[in-house]
Structure 1
Amino acid sequence: MIDRPFADLSVRPVPFPEPAAGQLAVRVRAVAINPLDAIVQSTGRLMYGWLDYPAVLGEDVAGEVVAVGEGVDAFSVGDRVCAYAMGIEKGRDALAGGGFQHYVAVEASMTARLPWDLSFTEAAVLPLAFSTAAAALFERSQLGLDHSTLGSAPPRDEIVVIWGGATSVGGNAIQLARAAGYRVITTASPANHDRMRALGAEAVFDYRSPDVVRAITEAVGGSAVAGVVAIAAGSAEPCVSIAARTRARRVALTSPSVSFYDQPRHGGLSVRRARLLSRLVLSNIRLQAQCALHGIRARFVWGSSIADSPVGAVVWGEHLPVALETGGHRPVPSPRVIGSDLGAAQRGLDLMRQGVSAEKLVIALE
């Protein structure tokens, strides 16, 4: 639990989260750490101005259904599931709906049943990254790709460029784009190139190469680019350049242009915070000017947006359970277990700020 903006997380009792209509109560067996949790802690009310404190952070949970709310027919007590805990989102219950606790209330529409051979720690890496990837690819306000035949789509000669394939969002985006029939070109460090190809990317480039934009443009050749997904700080600018060179018209931005970790964890003005906000504003002005010049629409992605759209029903309700059962969608990246109690959550946030690559920090609760 976080008691006030910028505070360290603490562990203390809260009421059992009785599920409302359309919800499930889940006993959490594994919960993953997300950059979003560290950002909320680092920025106070800058991004989540609606958040009432105290609040429970945490979005990625896997565990067992222990209670079913009114109107829920697709799940039963005892089901093994993973779910997107949306407690910190606007209009949600920031205590009952946060993932860093032993029992959590989640939306049945953002929950998927797990196959028996998939562990809770493996499944916990999925929810937020999977939802963000789906929103970036399929929401009409983002790339708006066709997901009507997800999982059985015929091959298309259109390419999706995904910058940051080795990230949590990137690995899910590669698989979802391929499941929708699209070709994928991505970026990653050389150590992760083979893994990106195993997920379905046809070409992988080192994002640190000074010639990466040119190389991706040449790899596209004469094929149509359905859109570009920009993942991780600093990805927006090269992705807009790729879109301009390949005549793509849409870029989905999953990360700000600067890292929100680079600021003090306290309220009020400071030189570091002022510099960060100045860089953020100036970079966005330059980015949107470049977009306007080339007729490109670049918008930021909000992963929870699919909860109330047709996309959520398709990817969570129809595609993911089947894809996990058949092996058509792999939980990525690999989990790195950092503890067995909720006290490990703050340690996980601190580790996140130091840098985590090609893995997800997970707490396996006893």
Structure 2
Amino acid sequence: MTETVTNQAAWQKAPRQPLRIGVTALPHLAANEILIRNAAIAINPLDWILQDVALLPWLDYPAILGSDVSGEVAAVGGAVERFKVGDRVIGQAVGTTVNQPAQGAFQHHTIVLDHMAAPIPNNMAFADAAVLPLGLGTAASGLYGRTQLALAPPLHSPTARPEVVLVWGGSSSVGCNAIQLAVASGYRCVATASARNAGLLKELGASEVLDHSSPAIVEDVIEAMRGRSLAGTLHATGHMKDCFAVIARCEGSRRVAATLAPPDERPFGVEATHISGTSLKDDEVGPMIYREFLPQALAARTFVPAPPAKVVGQGLEMLQAALEALKAGVSAAKIVVTLP
């Protein structure tokens, strides 16, 4: 079916150039792939970084950037049984990881691995759903990956655990997803964020939110952790040095999974690893999240899209403005472009 689709994309011809709209061919679907007709695309920091600089040595330009899509299934591969044409879904696109433009998000149709997609409820807007994929995938890889924190998996009826997961930078996309996943795994969650975003994070399940702008943030978090044991720490954003200082003085695990490459210099005993937000496509975490956990959790609203979507326009031509808006800075929101 895919060879009959006329597809348009926003191409990144080379670093330091604006996006250009053009036609692109779609290859035949592999047995385990689906084709999504995109209704909404969300923007991540990696997108504007890859526009500015050739960060990924394996990525060829021209490229089609982007990771977060929502829309309707337009076609399915021969081995796909979970989805049918017309299903409403989200998908985590991995085009920049595998160097395949057809699997990038910034286009009308995107090819997605079937275990990196999930159905969404009929009453969930595509713009809201689109905020999930890369933030969710990164948080899940950090919390559950065997080489990361390797925590207990999320459940629909979790049993309370005595340990605490610390999420540093809780109002970011990764942070909002990490809080919800940690709670679904039965852990108590302590997070850092600005005071104005504390209410959002408590709605997502954080038991305590400490103001990251406090000059005493290290002591504040240590006091909140007194008498409790860390299961692990996910550093989404913020001052990594402060995060490490807290971990070094808390009971329990001194492992931290970080969205940015951790520095070599850190307190004795603190172990830090760098999260790859697409590693779950190759291990058990992808199916665990997109097949086993997310569909039911979204339907029951025990897991919600967060942070809230901020729609900046409609059409592929608005993606460049969306990149610039994110680069300029947002807080507790995710930039989204809808498609007609």
Range class of TM-score, shorter chain = over 0.9
d(CA) in 2 for partners of 1:320, 1:359: 21
The alignment status of 1:360 with 2:339, answered yes or no, reads: no
Structural mapping, 1:212-361, within 5 Å: 212-232=217-237, 234-247=238-251, 248-256=253-261, 284-287=263-266, 290=267, 293=268, 295-361=269-335
Unaligned runs of 5+ in 1: 258-283
d(CA) in 1 for partners of 2:329, 2:91: 25
The alignment status of 1:10 with 2:15, answered yes or no, reads: no
CA offset at residue 240 of structure 1? 1.1
1:221-262 residue CA offsets vs partner (Å, 9 max, x unmatched): 121101111112x432111111101043200111357xxxxx
The alignment status of 1:65 with 2:73, answered yes or no, reads: yes
d(CA) in 2 for partners of 1:36, 1:50: 15
Q: Name the CA shift for 1:106/1:73 in 2 (closer, same or farther; >3 Å).
A: same
Aligned length: 329
What's 1:49 paired with? Answer: 57
CA offset at residue 349 of structure 1? 1.1
Segments ≥4 residues shifted beyond 6 Å: none
Letter in 2 for 1:59: S
The alignment status of 1:117 with 2:91, answered yes or no, reads: no
What SS is found at the alignment partner of 2:31? coil
d(CA) in 1 for partners of 2:272, 2:158: 26
What's 1:171 paired with? Answer: 176
Instruction: Compute the TM-score of the two structures, normalised by the length of structure 2.
Output: 0.94
What's 1:151 paired with? Answer: 156
What's 1:264 paired with? Answer: none
What SS is found at the alignment partner of 2:321? helix
Structural mapping, 1:68-107, within 5 Å: 68-89=76-97, 91-93=98-100, 95-107=101-113
CA offset at residue 108 of structure 1? 0.4
1:142-177 residue CA offsets vs partner (Å, 9 max, x unmatched): 111011x52222001100010111111100000000
The 8 Å contact of residues 18 and 105 in structure 1, kept in 2 or not, is answered as: no
d(CA) in 2 for partners of 1:188, 1:120: 27
d(CA) in 2 for partners of 1:116, 1:235: 39
Unaligned runs of 5+ in 2: 1-10
Q: CA RMSD in A?
A: 1.2
